[in-house]
Amino acid sequence: MAIRIKTPEQIEGIRQSSILAARTLKFLEPHVQPGVRTADLDALCEQFIRDHGAIPATKGYHGFPASCCISPNEVICHGIPGAYVLKEGDIVNIDVTTILNGYYGDTCRMFSVGKVSDYAERLMKTTRECLRIGMQQCFPDNFLGNIGYHINLHAVAHGYSVVFEFCGHGVGLSFHEEPEVSHIAPKNSGPKLKPGMIFTIEPMINAGKARAKVDKKDGWTARTIDGKLSAQYEHTILITEEGCEALTDVFGDF
């Protein structure tokens, strides 16, 4: 299967779904507070998505049990909302994927729970910069691999490491389409970008070692092997004639 070039009608559908995914994160923001259970955030997330005529894509996806992924502190991604209670100083990722009229939008961001350490702030800031640096490589006829090439350079320059076991992905008509978007790649590698391609960039940046280990009991939760912090931000990106447009960048807050 080749990388799909989306039609104008498909792009409009994916845009509407992406806007809803972004609005879901905005809706959750004031609820991310010390003392809240991640399962309660998930319930709010599901209600908001369904109230807007959409479906949470993660629910039942390969058996994933929740409407979003919630990944605190050393959890890299795919955290299952549950009994964990957020506490002052935590950093937490919430990843929302919506299906609206059959179209997918996918975005995630970090939230600070109360006041967090400068160490955690710096990791989140560099991870936001990595996403933006990846987006700067999104223009027609550039190589896909240059996204990961430049993300990795930036992360390493700040003393961090890039998770290589999870990637961005084509998105829009289904959850995970071609291409796979690695956040660490050789310069000028991979296919060339073309207008109408839609994929995510979602760098996961670790304060310590790059390696991830998946929880043996739940089969989902991916943590850093050294227990150090990890951060992630994600946008759904459309390649345009001029460059790119982040369809989930509705509020401009990351």
Binding site for Co ion (CB under 5 A): 95, 106, 108, 200, 202, 234
The piece of 37-45, 54-62, 152-160, 242-250 that touches ligand MF3 (CB under 6 A) is: 54-62
Q: Check: CB of residue 193 under 8 Å from CB of residue 5.
A: no
Could you tell me which of 187, 188, 186, 169 has the C-alpha nearest to residue 178?
Answer: 169
The piece of 34-42, 59-67, 151-159, 239-247 that touches ligand MF3 (CB under 6 A) is: 59-67
Judged by CB, which is closer to Co ion: 177, or 234? 234
Task: At 191, list the tokens.
Answer: 């296919």
Question: What are the DSSP calls for 200-231, one per residue?
Answer: EE--EEESS---EEE-TTTS--EEETT---EE
Q: Which does 239 bind (CB under 5 to 8 A by kind): ligand MF3, Co ion, none?
A: none
For the chain, what's the residue count?
254
Judged by CB, which is closer to ligand MF3: 61, or 251? 61
Q: Where are the alpha helices (DSSP H) in 3-88?
A: 8-28, 38-51
Q: Check: CB of residue 106 under 8 Å from CB of residue 200.
A: yes
Query: Cα(64)–Cα(61) distance, rounded to whole angstroms?
Result: 5
CB atoms within 10 A of CB 139: 16
Least Cβ distance, residue 76 to ligand MF3 (angstroms): 11
Query: Cα(229)–Cα(118) distance, rounded to whole angstroms?
Result: 12
Selected from 42, 74, 90, 234, the binder of ligand MF3 by CB under 6 A is 234
The piece of 4-12, 57-65, 130-138, 235-243 that touches ligand MF3 (CB under 6 A) is: 57-65
Which residue type, as a one-letter code, is found at position 189?
S
Estimate the crossing angle of helix 38-51 against helix 8-28, to 10 degrees: 140
Selected from 106, 177, 245, 249, the binder of ligand MF3 by CB under 6 A is 106
CA dihedral 199, 215, 120, 208 (to 10 degrees): -90
Judged by CB, which is closer to Co ion: 108, or 144? 108
Selected from 61, 165, 189, 192, the binder of ligand MF3 by CB under 6 A is 61
Of residues 176 through 215, those in contact with ligand MF3 by CB under 6 A are 200, 202
Judged by CB, which is closer to Co ion: 65, or 89? 65
Judged by CB, which is closer to ligand MF3: 1, or 157? 1
Least Cβ distance, residue 174 to ligand MF3 (angstroms): 12
Least Cβ distance, residue 169 to Co ion (angstroms): 6
Query: Cα(189)–Cα(163) distance, rounded to whole angstroms?
Result: 18
Structure-token match 């939008």, residue found: 105
Per CB under 6 A, does 95 bind ligand MF3? yes
Of residues 125 through 154, those in contact with ligand MF3 by CB under 6 A are none
The residue ranges that bind ligand MF3 (CB under 6 A) are 58, 61-62, 64, 69, 78, 95, 97, 106, 200, 202, 220, 234
